[in-house]
């Protein structure tokens, strides 16, 4: 399926180690935060020497890039079927919100790790490394969905960009809330958000 995840040159064993390390990187980022997610601590979680990580990824930056790729992939894979099952823009939007929130609950560490990297990973010149790619792809997807709904007359009149950003932010907010209160009732949360944006996007008669 995902031809990218097991490229030509990699053995099964190597792929397993890489997956293990990425997993531990995710857990470390989620549990201890970006600045504590050092090679040493990731290695410790994997019960492996630091050098093993270097051997498989060459660079800490590369590890984090892989974390981002992995989380993106998982999130996209998980969301796609839910989205494809719906036809009307309004239903797609509901599915999007509900799907994302559900993904958060099953992949909390993944999303927290992504968030940590997104917020903190910078290139040598000090510029953020991830913000563009992410902002582009995630918000844009929602924006297009909304614009389609406006074109079809299902949605009312509003800035698709601002609404898209609000949707995205509301979903990310669940994550931050989870960090404070891990026993949050996510079902209720999802329902409320769906209803909220239903009202906000609905065409006013």
Partner DNA sequence: CATGAATGAGCCTTCATTCAT
Partner DNA sequence: AATGAATGAAGGCTCATTCAT
Q: What gap in Å lies between CA 47 and CA 169, rounded to an integer?
A: 36
**Candidate list 158, 182, 183, 187; residue touching a second copy; CB under 8 A:** 158
The stretch among 1-9, 71-79, 147-155, 162-170 that binds a second copy (CB under 8 A) is 162-170
Q: Does 129 bind DNA (CB under 7 A)?
A: no
**Candidate list 77, 122, 140, 144; residue touching a second copy; CB under 8 A:** 122
Report the nearest approach of DNA to the CB of residue 134 (Å).
22
Q: What gap in Å lies between CA 11 and CA 13, rounded to an integer?
A: 5
Reduced to 3 states (helix: H, G, I; strand: E, B; else coil), residue 112 is helix
Report the nearest approach of DNA to the CB of residue 2 (Å).
19
Q: Which residues of 8-32 are buried (b: 16+ CB within 10 A; e: fewer)?
A: eeeeeeeeebbebbbbbbbbbbbee
Region 23-42 residues binding DNA, contact defined as CB under 7 A: 35-41
Report the nearest approach of a second copy to the CB of residue 162 (Å).
4
- Burial environment of residue 42 by CB neighbours within 10 A (0 to 12, 13 to 18, 19 or more): buried
Q: The tokens of 183 are what?
A: 């026993």
Between 78 and 166, name the residue whose CB sits nearer to a second copy: 166
**CB within 8 A of 78, min separation 6: which ones?**
99, 102, 103, 106, 107
Between 62 and 122, name the residue whose CB sits nearer to a second copy: 122
Q: Does 200 bind a second copy (CB under 8 A)?
A: yes
Contact residues for DNA, defined by CB under 7 A: 11, 13-14, 17, 35-41, 48-52, 54-56, 58-61
């Amino acid at each position: 399926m995902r031809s990218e995840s097991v490229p030509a040159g990699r053995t099964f064993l190597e792929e397993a180690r890489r997956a293990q390390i990425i997993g531990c990187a995710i857990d470390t980022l989620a549990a201890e935060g970006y600045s504590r997610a050092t090679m040493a601590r990731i290695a410790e979680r994997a019960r492996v020497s630091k050098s093993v990580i270097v051997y498989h990824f060459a660079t800490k930056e590369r590890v984090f890039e892989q974390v981002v790729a992995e989380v993106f992939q998982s999130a996209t894979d998980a969301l796609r079927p839910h989205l494809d099952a719906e036809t009307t823009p309004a239903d797609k939007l509901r599915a999007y919100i509900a799907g994302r929130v559900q993904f958060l609950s099953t992949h909390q560490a993944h999303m927290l790790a992504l968030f940590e990297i997104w917020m903190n990973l910078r290139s040598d010149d000090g510029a953020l490394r991830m913000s563009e790619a992410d902002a582009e792809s995630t918000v844009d997807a929602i924006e297009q969905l909304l614009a389609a709904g406006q074109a079809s007359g299902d949605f009312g009149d509003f800035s698709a960009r601002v609404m898209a950003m609000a949707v995205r932010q509301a979903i990310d907010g669940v994550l931050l809330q989870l960090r404070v209160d891990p026993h949050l009732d996510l079902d209720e949360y999802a329902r409320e958000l769906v209803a909220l944006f239903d009202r906000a996007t609905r065409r006013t008669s």
